[in-house]
Amino acid sequence: MIADPAPADTTTPVRQDNHSVVKAAGLIGVATFSSRILGFLRDMVLARLFGATPAADAFFVAYRIPNLLRELFAEGSMSSAFIPVFTEYHSLKSKRDAWELASATFTTLLTLVTAVTLAGIAASPVLVWLIAPGFRDDPTALALTTLLTRLMFPYLIFISLAALAMGILNSLRAFAAPAFSPVFFNIVIITCALFLSPLLEEPILGVAAGVVAGGAAQFAMQIPGLRRRGMLFGWRLDPGHPGVRKIGWLMLPSLLGLSVTQINITVSTILASFFHGGPTYLFYGMRLIQFPLGIFGVALATAILPTLSAQAAKGALDDLRGTMDFGLRLILFIIIPAMVGLILLREPIVHLFFEHGTFRPADTAATATAVLCYAVGLWAFAGVRIIVAAFYSLKDTATPAVTAAVAVVANVLFSLVLMGPLEHAGLALATALASMLNGAVLVFLLNRRLGGMAWPSVLRSAGRSLLATVPVAAACVWIAGLAVWQRPEAWIAKAIMLAVGIGLSISGYLAVQALFRSAELDVLWDLVKKKVTRR
Question: Would you state the pLDDT for residue 8?
Answer: 41
Give the distance, in angstroms, between the CA of residue 355 and the centroid of all CA atoms in the same chain: 24
pLDDT tens-digit series, residues 220-242? 999 998 999 888 888 888 878 88
Q: Give me the helix-helix angle, 12-50 and 54-70, nearest 10°.
A: 150
pLDDT given for residue 429 in this prediction: 94
Q: How many CB atoms lie within 10 A of CB 210?
A: 27
Q: What are phi and psi of 379, to 5 degrees?
A: -65, -35
Report residues of the chain scoring pLDDT below 50.
1-11
Using CA atoms, how far apart are residues 294 and 290, in angstroms rounded to an integer? 5
Check residue 21 and give its pLDDT.
65
Contact in structure between 197 and 187 (CB atoms under 8 Å): no
Residues 6+ apart with CB under 8 A from 427: 267, 268, 271, 272, 278, 282, 415, 418, 419
As a three-state string, the secondary structure of 444-505 is HHHHHHCCCCCHHHHHHHHHHHHHHCHHHHHHHHHHHCCHHHHCCCCHHHHHHHHHHHHHHH
**Complete DSSP assignment for 220-237:** HTTHHHHHHTT-------
∠ Cα 399 401 402 (to 5°): 70
pLDDT at 33: 72
CB 65 within 8 A of CB 145: no
Residue type, position 290, single letter:
Q
Q: Angle at CA 201, nearest 5°, toward 53 and 51?
A: 20
